[in-house]
Structure 1
Amino acid sequence: MIYRSVNCVIGSGGLMATWLLHCNPKTFNLDEHRSAGEALTSWTIARHKTEVTAGDEFVLWVSGPNAGVTAYGHFTGSAEFGEVDPRFWTTDPGPKHFVPLQVEKWLDMRIPKAQLAGDARMADATILRQPFAGNPHRLTTDQWQAIREAIESENGDPGWHLNPGDTIRRTDLHARYGGSSQNGIATSGTTDNILIFTAASSGHQHGYYDTWNEDGTFHYTGEGQTGNQRMIRGNKGILEHRETGKRLRLFDGARGTVRYLGEWTLDQEQAFTWAEAPETGGGPLRQVIRFHLVPVRATITTPEVGVGQGYVTADEDVTPAPAAPRMPDPDLVGRNLSTHRRLQNDLAQEAENRGLMALSPSPSDPDFDVAWRDGQGCLTVSEVKSLTRANEGRQLRTGLGQVLDYRDQLSDRATEVAAVLWVEREPSELRWVELCRRVGVTLAWPGREDAVFSPEHNGTQE
């Protein structure tokens, strides 16, 4: 930050003091300075020039809409006078007094102004009463203690009672931690949390294709069901969560009982990318935000041994948009969409009627339509397909390939996996029944439920 010193201003010595340095982003671009890989080795000051000295401790405060503490460290010398590196200033500052320093830690998340302002010990802090006063702000012992306690709590997980893997009803979750129970991204106004929810069974119908990656990271699709997504509301909350001091809490499931997948943060090298995905109901392709999340602590980062979550009923009343090019599945367009959802819901209800628990996929599962387990540990996974005379061959080929893929992916997560291709009606070419039987897949349709749910069913056709 400083090119060279011109002369030294001798510090007064004595007991070590504690200070607050503040940064105005409109004057000095700290984010750009850090992104450029520059080490912060000094800070300009306008007062207390003879009082600052080596060994004094400081915290760095960034002002603006997301004001708060972002780093701490200590001074390595007394104040000096010198030329300032103008690259990251909005105007050339000219020569200034500065104090050399060493940053001990950049905080993962900023300690927000609101949190500190709520502490009675900070009532007389000059950064709150006189925020435009020149650097540095002297801190009393009580004020320093209040800030350090807030920093120490940032390294823990204060006020949070869930452990990764715990389940909770979503209504109870919001009653305790705030945030809207209707949104996939729920920013709390009462706690320092952003609750985010991922569920393939409901998300895919809106073009939300979240993915787990082999390195343990997670790509999460932003909110916005139609048109190009924008970096506003919940999306902006995720992007700025470090600056606002909000913790990202990821949950598996969207309704009913959800499962906590731990605390996550944005990848500091690449926070997000843009991708293409269809609008709600298989509409035209649009730009969506893909947030790159990495685990923070004690977080579930590998697929679960179990499969699925409680079945999420598909909405049969959504009016599909016209077909778009490069759709991920032709069964999710036009007339086929409502038929697909009706068949899927009926199959899930049949499983429930027979005393089985219907399952929708969790984020770590392949994107099957419905699954269930029997009392002997056999998992049955199904793909549902609508059929018309025009698309019958394509749908059967696609569905067979999908359900074989699901079975293969889940083979090490159940003692036995059976596969079902559930279609709208009897195929016009019955050779499909024999073909499916040969590869261990049950091909069935309404009226042939016993072929799927009979006790003898084990992935073979009658």
Structure 2
Amino acid sequence: MTAWLLTCNPDVFNLEAFRRDGRPLEAWSVARYRSELSDGDSFVMWLTGPRGGLIGRGHLTGEPFFSEGASNGDYWQQDPGPRWYVPLKVDDWLDTPVARSQFTEDERFTDTTTLRTLFAANPHRLSEVQWEAFDEAFAKASTALPEEEEWHLRPGDMIRRVELHDRYGGSRQGGICKSARTDNVLIFTDPKTGHQHGYFDEWAEDGSFHYTGDGQEGPQTFDSLGNRSIRDHLQLGLKLRLFEGSRGIVRYVGEFAVDPASPYSYAQAPETGGGPLRRVIRFHLVPVGSTEQPPTVPIGCGYRPVDEFVQPAPAQPGTPDAGLTERNLQAHRRLQNELATAAAARGLEVLSPRATDPDFDLAWRSSEKNLTVCEVKSLTEANETRQLRAGVGQLLDYHDRLQGRATKVQAVLWVEYEPSEARWIDLCQRVGITLAWPGREDDVLA
């Protein structure tokens, strides 16, 4: 598309009086790019000065023409003399301008001179992403919701996706949709449709939710508006709203934010339809505030075996030896997959957590009413106590958050070997946790 910015200096042309009198703006003076201006081109109108900013948008309706007399002459502060004009139609006016400050910090303008050379003659050429920024700002300003209505959903609420976009705007397709009317980014996770495009979203070992970025073919980059919106949401003042599902009825999980210590990593995943492997972005999202789900939200989905040969992220200075970290991670995942296999062999329904669930390693059901939630821990002589403490704390949290969503919830801490201190068995029993290890599958799966 071809888009332009037209400026209006209120000291030269009294636009406020012109609009107040209800006059239609049918032409505007231009001095540059006349051979490139065409019928149908889009434009935004910018009011200069300290109280100015984005004020209108529309489209050109013909080719430039030369006139000896001024168009809308009554509103010029002084006779402009003969000049070139381009015919146009203003599709929308804003009641008050969107201030320049909203755009100067937008990275879509940081590498250009568009906002720094507004003193130059009309028109000013706009790139596609700059037009996108103006269009978003205009949509938000013209249809802004009252502050108390900027977000109305609570964790667990269900809504038709079409109704969600009717209210908040944004693309009705895709997984990352920036709201055009509020400071929200709508994010959708759905293993049913995502896996066919190489989107493998999951809870990670550290409790963050790993969300695959935008882009179904080729390596994913931050050239995508969706990926930039997530990466830079804190600087842009945007809130990330995670939903489970991608079509029809979707369920609101809660507000998330990128982990400031480790905002994203890269991984390999196939292209759409099982194509070749390519690099994808994995955003590390952490919950903000409450994501507690109501009792009506089902727990878990079909078990997803974890990759036992996954490579850990590069170690930071001062962190444990990378080889030991890799060994612990692989041992954890092997233990988890082996226990899941044993549970399935006994006819149990084995589960992985949904985005709406706490980040347990696996769970299983013996009936519709009885749920067992399990945390898996690899052990070494050096980390045994630390791992057991962490596992007990995590299970107490999972049990507390899930007991309102299942009739009976049991907790299992599955470790690599029998702990060197027997006191851990009694300690776990006292708080309602079964501590077990390979060879004691019957104790937890019977």
The alignment's TM-score, normalised by the length of structure 1, stands at: 0.50
Match in the other structure for 1:276: 262
* Alignment match of 1:73 (pick from 85, 93, 98): 93
Preserved CA contact (<8 Å) 1:403 1:419: yes
**Relative to 1, partners in 2 of residues 1:348 and 1:23: Cα closer, same or farther, differing over 3 Å?**
same
1:373 matches 2:365: yes
1:106 partnered with 2:138: yes
In structure 2, which of residues 214, 218, 222 is the aligned counterpart of residue 231 of structure 1? 222
1:358-401 CA-partner distances (Å, limit 9, x unpaired):
11122232211111222151221111011222322222122112
Residue equivalent to 1:90? 117
User: Are the structure 2 counterparts of residues 52 and 209 from structure 1 closer, same or farther at C-alpha, using a change threshold of 3 Å?
Assistant: farther
Displacement of 1:349:
1.6
Equivalence for 1:349:
341
Match of 2:434 in 1: 442
Name structure 1 gaps, 5 residues minimum.
60-71, 77-85, 97-102, 111-151, 175-179, 185-197, 212-219, 242-247, 282-286, 295-300, 455-462
Kept in 2, the 8 Å contact 1:386–1:395? The answer is: yes
**Residue in structure 1 matched with residue 398 of structure 2 by the alignment:** 406
Inter-CA distance 427–355: structure 2 relative to 1 (3 Å threshold): same
User: Structure 1 residues 348 and 230 mapped into 2: Cα distance closer, same or farther (>3 Å)?
Assistant: same
Q: Which of 286, 293, 298 lines up with 1:303 in the alignment?
A: 293
Distance in 2 (alpha carbons) for counterparts of 1:356 and 1:41: 62
Q: Which residue of 1 aligns with 2:103?
A: none
| Matched residue, 1:199 | 202
Separation in 1, partners of 2:55, 2:141 = 21
Cα distance in 1 for residues equivalent to 2:331 and 2:248: 28
Distance 2:425 2:331 in 1: 21
Alignment of structure 1 residues 67-216 onto 2, 5 Å: 72-73=92-93, 88-93=115-120, 106-107=138-139, 170=192, 181-183=197-199, 198-200=201-203, 204=204, 209-210=208-209
**CA separation in 1, counterparts of 2:207 and 2:73?**
53
* 1:235-289 deviation per Cα after TM superposition (whole angstroms, max 9, x unaligned): 2486899xxxxxx9966489xx99944799x99xxx98854258579xxxxx986
- Letter of the 1:404 counterpart: L
Specify the SS of the correspondent of 2:418.
coil
Amino acid at match of 1:365: D
1:90 counterpart letter in structure 2:
T
Q: Could you say which residue in structure 2 is the equivalent of 1:433?
A: 425
Task: Indicate the residue corresponding to 2:158 in structure 1.
Answer: none
* Corresponding pairs, count: 315
Q: Identify which of 312, 319, 333 aligns with 2:304.
A: 312
- Residues 8-53 of structure 1: CA deviation (Å, up to 9, x unaligned): 9999x9997989784489xx7x9xx9xx985544789976964799
Percent same amino acid among aligned pairs? 39
> Matches of 2:419 and 2:18 in 1, distance apart?
91
* Aligned counterpart for 2:412 among listed residues 416, 420, 438: 420
Residues 212-231 of structure 1: per-residue CA shift (max 9 Å, x gap): xxxxxxxx68579xxxx963
- Rounded to whole Å, the distance in 1 between the matches of 2:22 and 2:385 is 87
Partners of 1:7 and 1:392 in 2: how far apart?
A: 76
Letter in 2 for 1:420: V
SS of alignment partner, residue 358 of structure 2: coil
CA gap of 1:18–1:426, structure 2 versus 1, over 3 A, is farther
| CA displacement 1:315-361 (0-9 Å, x = unmatched) | 01224466546879x99922111110011111112222222221112
Unaligned runs of 5+ in 2: 1-7, 28-39, 76-87, 97-112, 124-134, 143-164, 176-185, 234-239, 268-280
Alpha-carbon distance between aligned partners in 1 of 2:138 and 2:313, rounded to the nearest angstrom: 47
Instruction: Show the counterpart of 2:90.
Output: 58
Distance in 2 between the 1:398 and 1:232 partners? 39
Q: In 2, Cα distance between the equivalents of 1:373 and 1:346?
A: 17
Structure 2 distance, partners of 1:340, 1:348, is 12
Residues 383 and 327 of structure 1, relative CA distance in 2, 3 Å threshold: farther
Change in CA separation of 1:169 and 1:413 when aligned onto 2, cut-off 3 Å: closer
CA contact (8 A) 1:58 1:73 kept: yes
Q: Tell me the equivalent position of 2:10.
A: 3
- What is the DSSP-based 3-state SS (H/G/I as helix, E as strand, rest coil) of the residue aligned with 1:3? coil
CA RMSD between the two structures: 6.0
Measured in 2, the distance between the counterparts of 1:6 and 1:161 equals: 44
User: Are the aligned partners of 2:57 and 2:93 in contact in 1 as well (CA < 8 Å)?
Assistant: no
Equivalent position SS for 2:405: coil
Select the residue among 389, 402, 407 that pairs with 2:381. Answer: 389
| Cα separation, partners in 2 of 1:372 and 1:325, compared to 1, 3 Å | farther
* C-alpha contact 1:384 1:421 (8 A) present in aligned 2: yes
Report the CA distance between 1:428 and its aligned residue: 2.2
Tell me the equivalent position of 1:120. none
